[in-house]
Chain A
């Protein structure tokens, strides 16, 4: 597999297709895990045992509809940059990225579902859908679970449910994630408080970009914690309740900022726009934060695009991803290399705005 081109070809549409509404929930992801009996879990196994698991699973997975021609990637064949690319596209999990022989990703042409073999568990399916789609994602997980159950007898115990490498996660082996875009809550400095609240709600809440920066791009992942006590449908109720609460909060704060005499919302949008439009050097973090506000402005109508807002939201997302991929590919560059990249990035983004006719603050006229 080649570097940027292949990774870009794998951009998962579900993640970048902007929902028609407020665009706060970018996507919903389901994680389904299963293990084969009589094999050590991948975190505690030898290359031989991982290969044996892969030999058992891969041919069967190929028989599932849509996976016949799926691209099978062995992780140990990828270099650092290629792993970064898949991570960026959310087609690989961080623990998988560090794995060695016998670990595979099976990526079909339709990229909203993919399988990992020998991730944290023997078999992991990730199912993505755009927007806030908890019910659909659970139904998808149940469908896949049914198909898998026809092919294999997975490790199961009546007391715990499906067995996993971490006992507290045993149960139905399903987990929910959703990716939230929360610019108003972020620029008003409320994220610290919200993170604490989420911890109390027994959910995990982490920045979307896992590259060490705190909250660049104002995007977050809300994640359910699985357990033997509750079924996924019960968990989903709690999960959706919390997600809806966050969505409501984000909307309220946007309105409050818009109505504030200090023009806080429009000031932030204007600054972000000015930076993207004219900066000569942009770091990936600066770009993400500014793009986040431009994304919001496109939703709120503060930025009008001639090509239509849906098309432009998609382009913005893809540009953001491409920049992240470039940055990942240059992760080991020295200072001069990073400076060059920042200059090139700024120039590409100025060009982006130049190529797509638009109007900032149409409400002013």
Chain B
């Protein structure tokens, strides 16, 4: 019931999970059904049991996808991550050897210690203004729960436009966009 993970390709809810050994390292492959189909991995049942019942061709196919995905991530992180260049952040967890790139690619952590190692990734603002300074001139923004209740009401009223706005707001507040 690990249903809440996001597809590594499109960010939608993932339904297929696979841990593959690539170049001696375990790599997670997390895909939604559409992307999996697009990549030629159609049968979710097969994928679920893939670790045990893998025909060689299928394995090769998955290796290729994992490679493509990690290349894409590398490209992305080299072009749009100013953070990694200018600071002395660790890019690998000393306890479990999980890397920053792996964290970015999968959204996972390797072990509990990774939370400290990748703290800045989790909460980019925490270093700059860590004191919880009260916002000036603003009333407190609605809590996530209040927003969810408003969302529930909007859906009950079948006001999907309002619901979509609220959903986006909730997603951005809960930091779930990729």
Contact surface of A with B, Cβ cutoff 8 Å: 31, 35-41, 43-45, 80, 83, 93-95, 97-100, 120, 155, 157, 159-160, 163-170, 175, 177, 197, 199-202, 204, 206, 210-212, 223, 225-227, 229-230, 234, 237-238, 241-242, 245, 331
Q: Report the bound CA distance from A59 to B50 in whole Å.
A: 30
**Given known contacts A38-B113, A80-B49, A163-B109, A44 and B1 CB-to-CB distance under 8 angstroms:** no
Residue numbers in A under 8 Å from B111 (CB-CB): 38-41, 44
Report the minimal beta-carbon distance from B141 to chain A, rounded to whole angstroms: 12
Residue ID in chain A nearest B116 by CB atoms = A157
Across chains A and B, which 8 residue pairs bring their CB atoms closest together, nearest first? A155-B112, A40-B96, A40-B111, A44-B110, A163-B112, A229-B144, A200-B163, A98-B51
Q: Report the bound CA distance from A227 to B174 in whole Å.
A: 8
Question: In the complex the two chains form, is B45's CB within 8 Å of A211's CB?
Answer: yes
Question: In the complex the two chains form, is A38's CB within 8 Å of B52's CB?
Answer: no
Residue ID in chain B nearest A93 by CB atoms = B1
The DSSP consensus for interface residues of chain A is loop
Residue numbers in A under 8 Å from B44 (CB-CB): 210, 212
Contact residues of B between 34 and 86, Cβ < 8 Å to A: 43-45, 48-53
Residue numbers in B under 8 Å from A160 (CB-CB): 115, 122
**Given known contacts A39-B111, A40-B110, A212-B44, A98 and B50 CB-to-CB distance under 8 angstroms:** yes
Question: In the complex the two chains form, is B49's CB within 8 Å of A230's CB?
Answer: no
Residue numbers in A under 8 Å from B109 (CB-CB): 41, 163-167
Residue numbers in A under 8 Å from B160 (CB-CB): 197, 200
Question: In the complex the two chains form, is A241's CB within 8 Å of B152's CB?
Answer: yes
Q: Report the bound CA distance from A210 to B151 in whole Å.
A: 28
- Judge whether B10 is part of the interface by a CB distance below 8 angstroms: no
Other A-B pairs beyond A41-B110, A163-B115, 5, CB < 8 Å: A40-B110, A97-B49, A167-B109, A200-B160, A238-B145
- Of the candidates A98, A164, A166, A230, the one whose C-beta lies within 8 Å of that of B145 is A230
- Judge whether B175 is part of the interface by a CB distance below 8 angstroms: yes
Residue numbers in A under 8 Å from B17 (CB-CB): 94-95, 98
- Judge whether B176 is part of the interface by a CB distance below 8 angstroms: yes
- Judge whether B3 is part of the interface by a CB distance below 8 angstroms: yes
Render B138-173 as a binary contact track against A, CB cut-off 8 A, 1 for contact: 000001110011011001100010011011001000
- Of the candidates B112, B156, B167, B170, the one whose C-beta lies within 8 Å of that of A38 is B112
Q: Report the bound CA distance from A180 to B49 in whole Å.
A: 26
Q: Most chain-B CB neighbours within 10 Å: which of A98, A206, A226?
A: A98
Q: Count B interface residues, CB 8 Å.
A: 51
Cross-chain pairs A/B with CB under 8 angstroms, 29 sampled: A35-B112, A36-B112, A38-B95, A41-B110, A43-B19, A43-B26, A44-B110, A44-B111, A94-B1, A94-B2, A95-B48, A97-B49, A98-B18, A98-B49, A99-B51, A100-B51, A165-B108, A165-B109, A168-B4, A169-B4, A177-B1, A197-B163, A200-B160, A202-B151, A204-B3, A206-B3, A229-B174, A238-B148, A241-B149
Q: Report the bound CA distance from A80 to B113 in whole Å.
A: 35
Residue numbers in A under 8 Å from B149 (CB-CB): 238, 241
Residue numbers in A under 8 Å from B1 (CB-CB): 31, 93-95, 175, 177, 223
Residue numbers in B under 8 Å from A211 (CB-CB): 45
Question: In the complex the two chains form, is B110's CB within 8 Å of A201's CB?
Answer: no
**Given known contacts A94-B17, A229-B144, A80 and B52 CB-to-CB distance under 8 angstroms:** yes
Residue numbers in A under 8 Å from B148 (CB-CB): 201-202, 238
Q: Report the bound CA distance from A244 to B96 in whole Å.
A: 44
Q: Report the bound CA distance from A206 to B96 in whole Å.
A: 34
Question: In the complex the two chains form, is A223's CB within 8 Å of B3's CB?
Answer: yes
Residue ID in chain A nearest B167 by CB atoms = A200
Residue numbers in B under 8 Å from A234 (CB-CB): 145
Residue numbers in B under 8 Å from A201 (CB-CB): 148, 151-152, 155
Report the minimal beta-carbon distance from B164 to chain A, rounded to whole angstroms: 7
Residue ID in chain B nearest A223 by CB atoms = B3
Q: Report the bound CA distance from A45 to B21 in whole Å.
A: 11
Q: Report the bound CA distance from A234 to B95 in whole Å.
A: 35
Q: Report the bound CA distance from A242 to B152 in whole Å.
A: 7
Residue numbers in A under 8 Å from B163 (CB-CB): 197, 200
**Given known contacts A40-B96, A157-B115, A166 and B152 CB-to-CB distance under 8 angstroms:** no
Question: In the complex the two chains form, is A43's CB within 8 Å of B145's CB?
Answer: no
